[in-house]
Structure 1
């Protein structure tokens, strides 16, 4: 089958957020390569002929009536009751049994290939995989939820022993629901997630592929640093650190460690620039929060204004933040976890804190601020062009699609 003739349908619960944005960028890169690609999502911004909004059952009248009456007929009620009976602290829990039946959609049934992304709370595993057991499916992983029971990251599983029985039961359910699949291919953007998935009970029998995220490098550009700082009202000669997250207060993103590290620095030694919802406060340093931004030109301006991007995640796949920072020529400071291990080398793209704690992060920041660490912005941009151009990603996906048709 000629590559320009097949139809691929991408499914993502969200168009926004890290996973949704990565999925949508892949879809757009395939459109640029003349692939017949459709993007289906339960939550979207804007409309176009290549995007389709999936109407969630939650918005239907009978769902709202049952919710008000508290009648546990729907899966969402049953799932909520399971969680309510237990105590725990976690970022996200999701279940394979859902009330939506998106497998009836014409776009999916007409597609030659279905590319799943972050689909928690959107697809019902039992009916979806039964309907499409003979159709080629690519599943791009953005976290660990697809091959774990209910948790999206391992630390949440390890920190919530009370949920072990539910976790094990839902893994068993997923194995049962996927039993009939033979043409499922798993794609991971990072080596860390690849290893976790290949060794999981659920996905170990399926072929795996490593394809890092691509970026629209024409949208993310290096800009003059002094100009960028002036444009954002920052002190042009003061070391500038940037921290970016959809939810700045997300514990998994390392916010508490970051705050402790910054608060232990000498007063007014750096200025902090943040992008995201739920702003945090750095009392002893100049700080400007730009809020949530979707405009990539403004985001590029912010990365370009920064001297160093701080990415203190405790667990992460291949954060868009890191790749966007690279595209703008800004080095990244991180911990030795997840997809950061694939690309941060200590010499060209960024460097690591020695340990996952505020003291090590503070020392690493001071090493950079005092000139013990330095990086070439043009070299970082060059390496981004060589590894993260969206054309590289789309070419690899097209090759995979053709190989499984």
Structure 2
């Protein structure tokens, strides 16, 4: 079986990493799986790019920047990503796709596949799977919905847009997607039960075929190292309680919940049951230099870590991973932390409860409660059997999210899709 994956980027962002990890797992399971990206950042020769050469790559970069500029012109200055599909590519003549038995779509925004380009894929007469890494595929433009329920109808009156109304830009984009989906036969893959439920709520895709299959990761890269040793190797005090968090762009950022983390750490630092001199926060990922918050505990910023083995070393060194995100599908960081034997403290939101079992391998705090988030950190801090807690975190990933398990589930879906497709064509 030959499978061709389409993603905007090669490992840049959560969807890209999830796509590449699935591709590796499928190849290890014996499939012929390849990835085709719109813009290639890395140098892996096995990943195919639509832009070989400096000029085509520059042209694609211009399209990506144009889409982002147009999107910013229409949307308010809020931390809710919104995409206006103004640029794209018709891939119906692409040789890699023609040669494949099945096409698997991932994140296709940023001047890659507009609704009309998606519709053109039907010319290839191939079964199509589509993993939804965020909500954009079934909304009128936004990638994160929070409490907005307009996607349950036909969007319009979009709270993200500067000019909103019943027939605003979000409604027009919604209609373009409906027109494309009516011509495109595809099977939705939802990485979390939350995402599957969201799709079923949408007017655009509530009747779509959906399979819940989580993302995966390399458990030989993301694996536990004994805590004190890992701390020493990372240059950290072995006697300190190390908290790790990722992607801390700004104290104003709502999506990643930074304000709630700050409040929780304030509460933690003031607790009489916590030795403030023993607690330390380390943060990896991008950050907004102009809006870096003041943390109430000792904090070290690591910057972006692109090497998975180095990242895994920090996960192993941490005693708890903190993710105050307010909406997330199936965040890679949570799975990576658990795989390294590090419990997770998070809000009860999105697909996180698919991975974190409350007081078994981490702590699920009440949504938007800084007080309960602080209680979760303190629960890990004071845990009577931390080694057992760490072991349970690792076991969760081995049992539910390892490469062989997730590859097998995808292969079963692919086989079913191919059988159904052949049956339809035989009629």
TM-score for the superposition, normalised by structure 2: 0.83
How far does residue 132 in structure 1 lie from its aligned partner after superposition?
2.1
How far does residue 56 in structure 1 lie from its aligned partner after superposition?
9.6
Structure 1 pair 371/37, CA: closer, same or farther in 2 (3 Å)?
Answer: closer
Q: Which residue of 2 aligns with 1:92?
A: 81
Find 2:400's aligned residue among 387, 391, 394: 387
Separation in 1, partners of 2:377, 2:70: 45
Q: Which residue of 2 aligns with 1:3?
A: none
Separation in 1, partners of 2:266, 2:319: 19
Unaligned runs of 5+ in 2: 150-158, 271-275, 419-427
Separation in 1, partners of 2:369, 2:206: 33
How far does residue 49 in structure 1 lie from its aligned partner after superposition?
4.7
Separation in 2, partners of 1:9, 1:383: 29
Measured against aligned partners, the alpha-carbon deviations of 1:252-276 in whole angstroms (never above 9, x if no partner) come to 1112211232234235351001111
Find 2:324's aligned residue among 291, 307, 312: 312
Separation in 2, partners of 1:61, 1:319: 29
Separation in 1, partners of 2:367, 2:415: 43
Q: Does 53-62 or 221-230 show the bigger shift?
A: 53-62
Structure 1 pair 246/123, CA: closer, same or farther in 2 (3 Å)?
Answer: farther
Q: Does 350-359 or 278-287 show the bigger shift?
A: 278-287
Find 1:23's aligned residue among 16, 19, 24: 19
Could you say what secondary structure the match of 1:98 adopts? coil
| Alignment RMSD | 2.9
Q: How is 1:51-70 mapped onto 2 (pairs within 5 angstroms)?
A: 51-55=47-51, 60=56
Q: Which residue of 1 aligns with 2:313?
A: 301
Q: How is 1:143-158 mapped onto 2 (pairs within 5 angstroms)?
A: 143-155=134-146
Q: Which residue of 2 aligns with 1:14?
A: 9
Could you say what secondary structure the match of 2:285 adopts? strand
Measured against aligned partners, the alpha-carbon deviations of 1:36-78 in whole angstroms (never above 9, x if no partner) come to 11101123343445311122999659969xx8xxxxxx99868
Q: How is 1:369-380 mapped onto 2 (pairs within 5 angstroms)?
A: 369-371=381-383, 376-380=389-393
* Conservation of the 8 A alpha-carbon contact between 2:191 and 2:213: yes
How far does residue 80 in structure 1 lie from its aligned partner after superposition?
4.7
Structure 1 position 102 matched with structure 2 position 91: yes
* Conservation of the 8 A alpha-carbon contact between 2:282 and 2:301: yes
How far does residue 196 in structure 1 lie from its aligned partner after superposition?
0.5
Measured against aligned partners, the alpha-carbon deviations of 1:218-273 in whole angstroms (never above 9, x if no partner) come to 11111011111112222211211110238576531112211232234235351001
Measured against aligned partners, the alpha-carbon deviations of 1:118-164 in whole angstroms (never above 9, x if no partner) come to 11121132133234253210001100011111100112857536446
Unaligned runs of 5+ in 1: 1-5, 68-73
Aligned residues: 391
Separation in 2, partners of 1:307, 1:193: 29
* Conservation of the 8 A alpha-carbon contact between 2:240 and 2:280: yes
Measured against aligned partners, the alpha-carbon deviations of 1:350-392 in whole angstroms (never above 9, x if no partner) come to 1112341323322332333244795521222122111111111
Measured against aligned partners, the alpha-carbon deviations of 1:67-114 in whole angstroms (never above 9, x if no partner) come to 8xxxxxx99868855752553413322134423333332112222211
Could you say what secondary structure the match of 1:242 adopts? strand
Find 2:287's aligned residue among 258, 274, 278: 278
Q: Which residue of 2 aligns with 1:36?
A: 32
TM-score for the superposition, normalised by structure 1: 0.87
Q: Does 51-60 or 130-139 show the bigger shift?
A: 51-60
Structure 1 position 402 matched with structure 2 position 397: no
Q: Which residue of 2 aligns with 1:345?
A: 357
* Conservation of the 8 A alpha-carbon contact between 1:11 and 1:119: yes
Could you say what secondary structure the match of 1:151 adopts? coil
Q: Which residue of 1 aligns with 2:273?
A: none
Could you say what secondary structure the match of 1:228 adopts? helix
Could you say what secondary structure the match of 2:129 adopts? strand
